[in-house]
Amino acid sequence: MPKKSDEFTIITFNLEHDGGPDQENGDFPQAWHDAHNAMAAHNPDILLRQETTYSRENDCRRLKAAGDALDMRGFLGQKGSGRNPTGLFIQKSGVVIDVPAEAFEAPCHHPWRTPPTRARVHLPEVPETPIDIMSWHFAFTGPVGRSLEIEQVVGVVDKVKKGHFFIGGGDCNDSALDDSPIHWDTTTDGPHVVHRTLLLPDGSRVTSNIIDRQLTTAGLVDPARYIGTPAALAPTGGRSKAARGQGGHQRIDRIYITQALATVIEDFTVIDTTGYSDHNAVKLVLSRKGMVEVLKRAA
C-alpha cells in the first residue's frame, strides 16, 4: 500500500501479547509476522504499540526485528506491575527525534500500571516546533487508577501552551463518550463490571469514560469522532472469547491530537486484525503539507 508523499500516518495497535511466545524452533510466532507485515503495508510515520510482551527479552531481539520489518526506529516503555509494556516506532526519515524515549524514563512507576512510551520529535520542515508523542495502555483494573494515570498525560498536554503539539494514543481500557450504552446490570462478567464502571452512592453503576472526558476537556481532539462516520467510530476491542459477557464491543483503542491538527485530517480508518490480534488497529492520516503549515503558524 504505497503512501502518498503528502501523507503523515499514525497508527495505534495493541498486538495481543506481542503475538505470543516464540515457536519451538526459535522463530517468532506467525501472529507476530502477520501483524508486522500488515502494519508495514500501511507505511506509518508513527506506530504506537501496546503489549510488547516479549520485546525486551534476549537483548530486545523482537524490538529490533520489528524495527527492521517496519523500517522504523523502535522504543520500549519502562516495565510496570503489568507484564505487557508499551512501545513506540518512529519513521527513520521524515521525522527527527529530539528526545528519545529513554530520556523520559523515571525512577518510580507510580501511578502507572503500565508506563507509557514517550518521545519528542519535530518535522525537518519545522524544527522549531516540538511534537510530544505518547503510546499508552491505561490500567485495566479500574477507573480510579486510570484517573491518576490520565492526570500525567494531561501534564504533557499542558505543554501545548508553550508551543508544543501532542499526538498520543493506545488502549484506553475505558469507554468513549460515543460508545453504545452497556447494560451493566445484565453483564455477566463481574470483574469486568468493576474494571469499567464507577460505583455510585446509591449502589448503581455508570460507565467509566474518564480518559475521553479528561483529554477532550484538556483540548485534544479524537479524530474518529471528528470524522464521525460509522466506519471511523467502529469498535476496536471486545472481540476475543474472553470478552464474552462483557457487554459488547467498544471503541477503546483511540488516538488524540492537538486541536489545530484536526483541520488537516484526511482520513481515519479501523484496520481489521482478525487472525493475529484481539484488538483492531486504528489509522489516522494527516496532510503532511497541511501539518507543516499548522506547525509553522504555531512557531
8 A C-beta contact, residue 174 and residue 212 = yes
Mean pLDDT rounded to a whole number for the chain: 93
Q: What is the pLDDT, as a whole number, of residue 110?
A: 72
Cα separation, 86 vs 43, whole angstroms? 20
Instruction: Give the pLDDT confidence score for residue 96 in this predicted structure.
Output: 96
Does residue 98 contact residue 86 with C-beta atoms inside 8 Å?
no
Largest CA distance in the chain: 56
Three-state SS at 211: helix
Q: Tell me, what's the pLDDT at 102? A: 83
What's the sign of the alpha-carbon dihedral 132, 217, 81, 140? negative
State the cell numbers at 92. Answer: 527513520
Distance CA 253, CA 260 (A): 22
191-239: pLDDT as tens digits: 989 999 999 999 999 999 999 999 999 999 999 999 999 999 999 986 6
Entry field: residues in the chain? 299
CATH class of 7-298: alpha beta
Is residue 39 classed exposed, middle or buried when 0-12, 13-18 and 19+ CB atoms within 10 A define those classes?
Answer: buried
Is 245 or 36 the better-scoring residue by pLDDT?
Answer: 36
The three-state secondary structure class of 293 is helix
Give the per-residue pLDDT at 247: 58
List strand residue ranges (DSSP E) for the chain, in order.
7-14, 46-50, 72-76, 87-91, 96-99, 117-122, 131-137, 165-171, 197-199, 205-207, 220-221, 253-258, 265-271, 281-287
Give the global pTM: 0.95
Give bridge partners of residue 10 from the DSSP assignment.
Answer: 46, 284
The predicted structure's pLDDT at residue 122: 97
Instruction: Map residue 232 onto helix, strand or coil.
Output: coil
Give me the pLDDT at residue 79, please.
87
Range 284-297 average pLDDT: 97
Cα torsion angle, 136, 155, 127, 287, sign: positive
Q: Is the pLDDT of residue 34 over 90?
A: yes
> pLDDT for 149-181, tens place per residue?
999 999 999 999 899 999 999 999 999 999 888
| pLDDT above 60 (res 107) | no
Among the listed residues 166, 122, 172, 128, the one whose alpha carbon sits nearest the alpha carbon of residue 150: 172
Q: What count of Cα atoms within 13 Å lies in the side-chain half-sphere of residue 137? A: 30
Measuring CA to CA, how many Å separate 8 from each of 46, 51, 87, 112, 236? 8, 24, 19, 30, 22
pLDDT confidence tier of residue 29, bands split at 50, 70 and 90? very high
Domain ranges within the chain, ordered by starting residue: 7-298
Q: Are 136 and 156 in contact (CB under 8 A)?
A: no
Average pLDDT over residues 124-152: 96
